[in-house]
Structure 1
């Protein structure tokens, strides 16, 4: 009996270490099997990614992938955006051997050089984790090459209207010269008109609008709903109840709503799921995460939201399921959730006063943050579609410029976008002064003119 007893004195220190390791491994396995990855998160993610922080494999693959796999994970979501942006620091620039020395300062080939997740203590605006003077590492000779920049602060490169690391199109000399001297308010100020529905009606001129009696859903639909539908755009373009309520299904999850709407509005669905409103329903995320996490709700947002805002975000959060009230979707739907200073100030702005009075120069929340873009038409020509990714032109500030240029001169717009206090008060006054960029370009115009005279 004595020989069969467990001898703790012979149980060495490394034995205890092995047991502790096994317990930790078992705990980790238990967490993984429950799809709870929170145990492994080292810090808060950036504002851009906080909705999908538990979709770890979207970025980390199997957890052991190298730098190339991480870079590809960034490009899986952002490559198209960079291409559209006319990226001024593309990866190909730094594959050129002549630029090899620059990589020793900042390896601009990798997104994670500047954008590091789970490091809130060093994360600045736009998820940048570098000091504000990082431009100086490669452009320390800027004052010598451009005397006009000698008095500019070394950390002011990214000021609104100046340099955007990924897109400098607004700083190209020909752009600035073409827009110099524009008035603050353009004579034909207005946003482009949406054309999707009008294009359908032109292509189907003999299709009469559906009437209440054409509602082909069973007794589950009330007379009020049928009447509302009959006054909607759907009835005008020959979409009746069964177009959405296939097999008589009456209730839908948020994911099902986005899928049903997207069967006809595929461009809108794609851009909606690229922005923060619909990101968690994106087809680019692992399907098991989408099913587990569900759609975003206002109370999960990091921006201030109204306490009364509730429910999951889908197409019908802004667009009623049976009526098509674009006025409601353009302002009231936004202000029903957003409660930050900029949003609260909108109804005191000239933009709102003009919009609510029906002035073509007036703009709504959606008019600025859901930009109207030109796309090729299916039958040739062009059509104007609304980009439902509300982050597309939000930050940096100068990404808003293409929208502003529909109504305002470039200098007026850039001066407004560079004024943080004016943004907070939702542009309730004119910007105080012009923009330094245009002071420089006016000097450049004079120099070009003098050079021509001397030739």
Structure 2
């Protein structure tokens, strides 16, 4: 009998079979990390294993990918005073721009899984990309002579997408304001007051549901819990135990907590699930990193977190399920997890000292990162902590509640000041305002 001989192509077939077996094993184990070509950006690392959310099933193409970006970011772009909207590049009169920068799709500037070329805000273009279209800017504006194109996007000058707080007319209208406004203060929340006004027939009950109070829920109805509840806005709004514990249910997953709270606090739920704290609970996402849990845990974050910060994030991570302690929610809850330089410096800042003393100039972590906003006369907290985080000049509306524009822009543009959590004022003013003053002087001299 002729002896069978292994040929070269047999080795290739064997390697292919082994690779197929490895891929099949990884698919069955739901370890999609096998297919990830590179590290994702900070904004997307929580959903990196939800490949089909962005790519569709079987990689559906560029149009699907663009729509996936808009599914999460369209509202933010719509609210922005976008100086580079996609329609500008779709206009036939601007066809020549496409040869320089095809900005019709988000991935032109924001390419995922390219950590070696990814810069701030997930931008994967060279830092001087403004040059391609604005190389003649110094001819039109002599004030820009000698300025590097890599400096365009620094705080106080230009943002690609939203420049509404940095337009010259806006800055000029507020120039010369004092560093600290004499009557400056943050908006005052009025949600509970409005609810009482609109629901006069629902007087506070002052006691828990009879069936739970008498022990149907076991040991959970302790006097401490009842005391916390009776002093809370839930009691004032006549929300009893069964409002959350229907059927005596006592244990909830993070997803169930957010869903339960969202039945009454829909706007807060929407904000929470739009930001990094709750984005894993957004629609069409698998339940967790390993597809077994509900929401992100601080231990899975890329930012520095304290070693003891564990458990999935939900509404009750910051707001106790029975006691509504806003002082804890606005500072202690944040510092219980975050361990970066900016967060650790907060307790040494003037903002904290004023806040702790109850002064009107006090600002907590949440006052800046979960800003109070007015919607149809209702002042409520935006629970999306990414809403005004980056680029940091998006925080100007909060800063301008208490500070003048020059002081605020200079502080936000100073990396040492930001790292120290504004523990000291900026050493220098921002050059933008000197350019504005020179322009005003030229106009007046004509």
Fold match, TM over 0.5?
A: yes
Q: CA deviation at 1:391?
A: 1.1
**Rounded Cα–Cα distance in structure 2 between residues aligned with 1:81 and 1:325:** 30
SS at match of 2:194: helix
**Rounded Cα–Cα distance in structure 2 between residues aligned with 1:315 and 1:279:** 13
Give the structure-1-normalised TM-score: 0.93
2:172 pairs with 1:177: yes
The residue aligned with 2:329 is: 329
The residue aligned with 1:303 is: 303
Q: CA deviation at 1:12?
A: 4.1
Which of residues 33, 50, 54 in structure 2 aligns to 1:55?
50
The residue aligned with 1:262 is: 262
Is the 2:280–2:287 Cα contact (8 Å) retained in structure 1? no
Is the 1:86–1:167 Cα contact (8 Å) retained in structure 2? yes
2:68 pairs with 1:84: no
**Change over 3 Å in CA distance of 1:95–1:213 after alignment to 2:** closer
The residue aligned with 2:275 is: 275
**Rounded Cα–Cα distance in structure 1 between residues aligned with 2:444 and 2:292:** 64
Q: CA deviation at 1:281?
A: 1.1
The residue aligned with 2:206 is: 211
The residue aligned with 1:40 is: 35
**Rounded Cα–Cα distance in structure 2 between residues aligned with 1:14 and 1:290:** 38
Q: Deviations over 1:72-130 (max 9, x none)?
A: 11111111111112222111000112222222222111111111111111111111111
**Change over 3 Å in CA distance of 1:270–1:184 after alignment to 2:** same
Which of residues 141, 146, 155 in structure 2 aligns to 1:160?
155
The residue aligned with 2:427 is: 432
The residue aligned with 1:414 is: 409
Q: Deviations over 1:314-333 (max 9, x none)?
A: 10000000010000101011
**Rounded Cα–Cα distance in structure 1 between residues aligned with 2:381 and 2:374:** 9
Aligned-residue Cα RMSD (Å) equals 1.8
**Rounded Cα–Cα distance in structure 2 between residues aligned with 1:213 and 1:300:** 38
SS at match of 1:385: strand
SS at match of 1:305: coil
The residue aligned with 1:233 is: 233
**Change over 3 Å in CA distance of 1:27–1:188 after alignment to 2:** same
Q: Deviations over 1:271-318 (max 9, x none)?
A: 111111111111242569796342111111111111121111110000
Where structure 2 has 5 or more consecutive residues not aligned to the other structure, the ranges are none
Alignment of 1:57-206 (within 5 A): 57-206=52-201
The more displaced of 18-27 and 127-136 is: 18-27
**Rounded Cα–Cα distance in structure 2 between residues aligned with 1:327 and 1:215:** 31
Is the 1:180–1:438 Cα contact (8 Å) retained in structure 2? yes
2:9 pairs with 1:8: no
Q: Deviations over 1:10-58 (max 9, x none)?
A: x543344234323323332332233211110111111111111111111
Is the 2:185–2:402 Cα contact (8 Å) retained in structure 1? yes
Is the 1:261–1:315 Cα contact (8 Å) retained in structure 2? yes
The residue aligned with 1:379 is: none
**Change over 3 Å in CA distance of 1:349–1:215 after alignment to 2:** farther
Is the 1:280–1:293 Cα contact (8 Å) retained in structure 2? no
Is the 1:281–1:290 Cα contact (8 Å) retained in structure 2? no
Q: Deviations over 1:331-355 (max 9, x none)?
A: 0111111111111110111101111
**Change over 3 Å in CA distance of 1:352–1:104 after alignment to 2:** same
The more displaced of 74-83 and 200-209 is: 200-209
What number of residue pairs does the alignment pair up? 441
Is the 2:275–2:385 Cα contact (8 Å) retained in structure 1? yes
SS at match of 2:379: strand
SS at match of 1:374: strand
**Rounded Cα–Cα distance in structure 1 between residues aligned with 2:135 and 2:29:** 51
